[in-house]
């Protein structure tokens, strides 16, 4: 009995299908697919048992076995159509295709079964042996076609839930197809195919069982330990290597002549020593373990969860807690620790302690830029395990660790922080809560997170530097404006001192001197007040003033310098809201610039016009003029001046900025050699008028002549 391979083969299939039927029938009968699988397992058990009993006892006869095989094929097709129905729901395949396939398979199976029954009971041989073989081939092809339709029209999730069933069934039908095709070709069933058929069916049973268990509780994972896989891989490698040695020894002996046996012994000895060296090499064993872990095992981390957690921590734009502390907590959390410290590159390239969390640091914490650890990290991206370093410093080439780290209690890992390819800093992680075995996956994740967080640290540092630079720029800008105003005051006082000896007995000069000195004092006081309170609200400094009176004072003030400006036309009072000193300074700059650009025999005219709620001040000169390119690109640009090194180049810029702050604007038209015209538009102040209980805003100054607004 045990010498008959067919009995053993089909007996194994019968036992496997019986166990599958028991498992499915007792625990897994939730779906139609499970019920169809139970039916297929029972009929397959009966079919395989019939083949065993026929070989042992000569019963049942051929027709019973033939009918059982037809029922077995029908049960597997029924299982496929049960799967196909579920896949059609999600894929939207045309139901007509499913119906045609089901009808075709049903007709074929029913016809073969009816013919078999008639032949068994009535002894009517309606089909020849070849026709029956063709029928079996047709059933196998139908099964393959249905599996193909299931796989094509299923989603990714559906495929993952039924892939083992599909693989098992397609293997059974494919084997039957090749066996019966071979039988049709040679006129008989091959003993090799027949004896292997039971083993093939039995080998598919674990796939069916795993699929059923997986659908009950996803996912089910069967894994060997990394150590077991490592040793198995080592044995396989050693076996393959020894096989290679045997072949090599045979050819050395065959080709070596009289030296053959000696060369064979030499070859085998050297090869065995080389194999032992490889197996005992710690580095090779470590790399083999990493290769196995990377390719055959699931990851230790849920990378999606780790990435989301890091993103939530770093997306907080507040400084509570500071960014370095958050980075330390992120890095420490990757290895089950809660403490750490961070050193970042300072202004003199030394690494300065930026933050420490739950970790005591020594008094002196600066790490020099030329420290051996810095050079080590500059050459390689390596995480230093201080525990491993303490046991075997040679593994780190006797690396010298700075005192700032070695004197830090509970320090464990030193993690380099790279910005691009440059070392930007380093982080120290404290001892974990419990013992943690680190492998390639820990180190890879730490390196990726360290690089990502380092980019954010560098960006935050760059923003801080930019903020400081902007503050210094603001101070420099304010100083330039103050120097410009001081130059004006100094020029006025210098002119006063220069003319004092000549006109000390002139009462009019004394009056001008008093007015000039008073203006200088007020200007200086305003500058000092601005320095003391730079954030003072400019709205509070604005007051209602008469622009016409202010312009008349400016004309009177600048009449001593040639060419002297003159006010044209008779204009009503124009009331505006502005700071009197700043507006006087701004308009004074414009008048002074016109005088500087115009020869003493030239002309400067000032005109005031009121139109549409605005007052427009025209300052027109017959000076040197400006090009359109200079007006558009340089005139209102700070620190650009036509006066060379003697001018700050901020008068026009300051004037336009202030006029814009009070709601107006400055426009310029100019022609080289002809002159320039500055148009200063300022909104009129509005007064509240009560009309029949409603408040109405109207400008305080309205022209008498409506045509004036058009001029």
pLDDT, mean of residues 532-543: 58
When pLDDT is cut at 50, 70 and 90, the band that residue 696 belongs to is very low
343-366 confidence digits (pLDDT tens): 998 877 789 998 999 888 888 888
When pLDDT is cut at 50, 70 and 90, the band that residue 340 belongs to is very high
Q: Give the pLDDT score at 695.
A: 47
Q: Has residue 89 got a pLDDT over 60?
A: no
In whole angstroms, how far apart are CA 231 and each of 223, 242, 332, 350? 14, 16, 33, 48
Q: Give the pLDDT score at 291.
A: 62
Q: Has residue 648 got a pLDDT over 60?
A: no
567-581 confidence digits (pLDDT tens): 887 777 888 888 887
Q: Give the pLDDT score at 504.
A: 77
When pLDDT is cut at 50, 70 and 90, the band that residue 484 belongs to is low
Q: Give the pLDDT score at 217.
A: 47
When pLDDT is cut at 50, 70 and 90, the band that residue 18 belongs to is very high
Of 45-59, 180-194, 659-673, give the lowest mean pLDDT range. 180-194
Of 45-49, 603-607, 650-654, give the lowest mean pLDDT range. 650-654
pLDDT, mean of residues 403-420: 90
Please state, in angstroms and rounded to a whole number, the distance separating the CA atoms of residues 478 and 484. Answer: 10
b (16+ CB within 10 A) / e for 384-397: bbbeebeeeeeebe
pLDDT, mean of residues 13-28: 87
Of 304-313, 423-432, 493-502, give the lowest mean pLDDT range. 304-313
pLDDT, mean of residues 669-698: 71
Q: Has residue 709 got a pLDDT over 50?
A: no
Of 29-33, 128-132, 133-137, give the lowest mean pLDDT range. 29-33
pLDDT, mean of residues 651-660: 80
Of the candidates 240, 241, 230, 234, which has an alpha carbon nearest to the alpha carbon of residue 292? 230
Question: E strands, 323-380, where?
Answer: 340-345, 351-357
Q: Give the pLDDT score at 577.
A: 87
Most confident of the ranges 100-109, 289-298, 642-651 = 100-109
Please state, in angstroms and rounded to a whole number, the distance separating the CA atoms of residues 594 and 558. Answer: 11
Q: Give the pLDDT score at 93.
A: 45
416-429 confidence digits (pLDDT tens): 999 888 899 999 99
When pLDDT is cut at 50, 70 and 90, the band that residue 45 belongs to is very high
Please state, in angstroms and rounded to a whole number, the distance separating the CA atoms of residues 434 and 335. Answer: 10
When pLDDT is cut at 50, 70 and 90, the band that residue 618 belongs to is very high
Q: Give the pLDDT score at 125.
A: 76
Q: Give the pLDDT score at 533.
A: 57
Please state, in angstroms and rounded to a whole number, the distance separating the CA atoms of residues 78 and 169. Answer: 11
Average pLDDT over the chain reads: 77
Provide, rounded to the nearest whole percent, the portion of the chain with pLDDT above 90.
Answer: 9
pLDDT, mean of residues 393-404: 87
Burial of 247 (0-12, 13-18, 19+ CB in 10 A): exposed
When pLDDT is cut at 50, 70 and 90, the band that residue 644 belongs to is very low
Q: Give the pLDDT score at 281.
A: 63
Please state, in angstroms and rounded to a whole number, the distance separating the CA atoms of residues 10 and 47. Answer: 9
pLDDT, mean of residues 28-53: 86
Q: Which two tokens stand for residue 515?
A: 């007015």
Q: Give the pLDDT score at 620.
A: 92
Q: Has residue 121 got a pLDDT over 70?
A: yes
Residue 72, Cβ neighbours under 10 Å: how many? 23
Cβ(50)–Cβ(60) under 8 Å? yes
Cβ(339)–Cβ(410) under 8 Å? yes
Q: Has residue 132 got a pLDDT over 80?
A: yes
When pLDDT is cut at 50, 70 and 90, the band that residue 688 belongs to is very low
What's the pTM? 0.38
Q: Give the pLDDT score at 227.
A: 54
* Cα torsion through 270, 275, 277, 280, rounded to 10: -160
Q: Has residue 142 got a pLDDT over 80?
A: yes
Q: Give the pLDDT score at 415.
A: 92
When pLDDT is cut at 50, 70 and 90, the band that residue 46 belongs to is very high
pLDDT, mean of residues 375-387: 88
Q: Give the pLDDT score at 289.
A: 56
Which position has the higher pLDDT, 581 or 618? Answer: 618
Q: Has residue 222 got a pLDDT over 50?
A: no
Burial of 301 (0-12, 13-18, 19+ CB in 10 A): middle
Please state, in angstroms and rounded to a whole number, the distance separating the CA atoms of residues 704 and 558. Answer: 30
422-481 confidence digits (pLDDT tens): 899 999 999 887 777 787 778 888 888 888 888 888 888 888 878 777 766 666 666 666
Which position has the higher pLDDT, 452 or 526? Answer: 452
In whole angstroms, how far apart are CA 351 and each of 162, 402, 650? 58, 11, 42
Of the candidates 533, 324, 301, which has an alpha carbon nearest to the alpha carbon of residue 439? 301
Residue 34, Cβ neighbours under 10 Å: how many? 19
User: Helix (H) and strand (E) counts for the chain?
Assistant: 22, 14
Cβ(331)–Cβ(446) under 8 Å? yes
Q: Give the pLDDT score at 151.
A: 72
Q: Has residue 178 got a pLDDT over 70?
A: yes
Provide, rounded to the nearest whole percent, the portion of the chain with pLDDT above 70.
Answer: 74
Q: Has residue 703 got a pLDDT over 50?
A: no
Q: Has residue 612 got a pLDDT over 90?
A: no
Q: Give the pLDDT score at 290.
A: 56
631: DSSP letter:
I
């Amino acid at each position: 009995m045990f010498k008959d391979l067919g009995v053993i083969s089909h007996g194994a299939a019968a036992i496997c299908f019986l166990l599958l039927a028991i498992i499915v029938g007792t625990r897994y009968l939730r779906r139609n697919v499970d019920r169809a699988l139970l039916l297929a397992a029972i009929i397959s058990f009966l079919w395989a048992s019939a083949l065993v009993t026929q070989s042992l006892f000569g019963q049942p006869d051929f027709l019973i076995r033939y009918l059982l095989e037809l029922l077995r094929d029908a049960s597997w097709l029924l299982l496929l159509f049960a799967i196909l129905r579920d896949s059609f729901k999600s894929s939207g395949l045309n139901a007509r295709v499913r119906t045609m396939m089901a009808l075709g398979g049903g007709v074929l199976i029913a016809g073969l079964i009816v013919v078999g029954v008639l032949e068994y009971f009535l002894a009517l041989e309606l089909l020849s042996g070849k026709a029956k073989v063709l029928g079996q081939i047709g059933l196998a092809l139908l099964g393959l076609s249905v599996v193909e339709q299931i796989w094509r029209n299923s989603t990714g999730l559906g495929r993952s839930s039924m892939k083992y069933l599909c693989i098992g069934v397609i293997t059974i039908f494919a084997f039957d197809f090749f066996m019966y095709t071979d039988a049709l070709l040679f006129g008989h069933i091959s003993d090799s195919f027949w004896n292997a058929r039971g083993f093939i069916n039995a080998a598919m049973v674990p796939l069916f069982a795993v699929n059923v268990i997986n659908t009950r509780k996803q996912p089910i994972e069967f894994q060997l330990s990394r150590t077991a896989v490592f040793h198995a891989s080592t044995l396989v490698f050693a076996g393959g290597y020894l096989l290679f040695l045997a072949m090599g020894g045979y050819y050395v002996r065959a080709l070596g002549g009289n030296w053959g046996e000696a060369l064979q012994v030499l070859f085998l000895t050297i090869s065995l020593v080389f194999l032992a060296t490889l197996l005992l090499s710690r580095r090779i064993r470590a790399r083999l373990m990493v290769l196995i872990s990377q390719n055959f095992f699931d990851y230790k981390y849920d990378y999606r969860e780790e990435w989301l957690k890091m993103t939530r921590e770093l997306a907080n734009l507040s400084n509570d807690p500071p960014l370095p502390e958050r980075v330390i907590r992120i890095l420490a959390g990757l290895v089950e620790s809660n403490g750490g410290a961070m050193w970042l590159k300072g202004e003199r390239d030394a690494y300065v302690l930026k933050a420490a969390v739950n970790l005591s640091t020594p008094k002196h914490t600066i790490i020099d830029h030329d420290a051996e650890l810095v050079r080590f990290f500059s050459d390689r991206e390596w995480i230093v395990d201080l525990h491993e370093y303490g046991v075997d410093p040679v593994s780190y080439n006797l690396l010298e660790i700075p005192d700032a780290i070695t004197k830090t209690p509970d320090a464990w890992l030193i993690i380099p922080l790279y910005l691009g390819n440059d070392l930007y800093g380093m982080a120290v992680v404290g001892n974990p809560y419990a013992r943690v075995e680190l492998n390639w996956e820990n180190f890879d994740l730490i390196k990726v997170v360290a690089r990502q967080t380092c980019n954010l640290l560098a960006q935050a540092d760059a923003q801080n530097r930019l903020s400081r630079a902007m503050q210094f720029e603001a101070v420099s800008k304010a100083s330039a404006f103050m120097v410009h105003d001081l130059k004006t005051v100094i020029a006025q006082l210098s002119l006063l001192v220069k003319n004092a000896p000549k006109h000390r007995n002139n009462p009019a000069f004394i009056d001008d001197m008093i007015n000039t000195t008073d203006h200088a004092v007020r200007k200086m006081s305003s500058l000092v007040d601005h320095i003391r309170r730079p954030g003072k609200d400019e709205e509070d400094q604005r007051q209602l003033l008469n622009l016409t009176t202010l312009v008349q004072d400016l004309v009177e003030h600048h009449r001593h310098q040639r060419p002297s400006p003159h006010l044209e036309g008779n204009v009503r009072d124009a009331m505006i809201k502005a700071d009197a000193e700043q507006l006087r300074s701004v308009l004074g700059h414009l008048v002074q610039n016109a005088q500087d650009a115009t020869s003493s025999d030239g002309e400067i005219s000032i005109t005031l016009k009121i139109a549409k709620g605005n007052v427009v001040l025209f300052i027109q000169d017959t000076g040197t003029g400006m090009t359109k390119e200079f007006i558009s690109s340089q005139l209102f640009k700070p620190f650009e001046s036509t006066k060379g090194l003697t001018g700050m180049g901020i008068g026009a810029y300051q004037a336009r900025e202030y006029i814009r702050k009070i709601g107006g604007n400055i426009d310029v038209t100019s022609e080289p050699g002809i002159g320039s015209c500055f148009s200063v538009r300022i909104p009129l102040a509005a007064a509240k008028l009560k009309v029949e209980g409603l408040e109405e805003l109207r400008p305080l100054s309205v022209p008498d002549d409506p045509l004036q607004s058009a001029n």
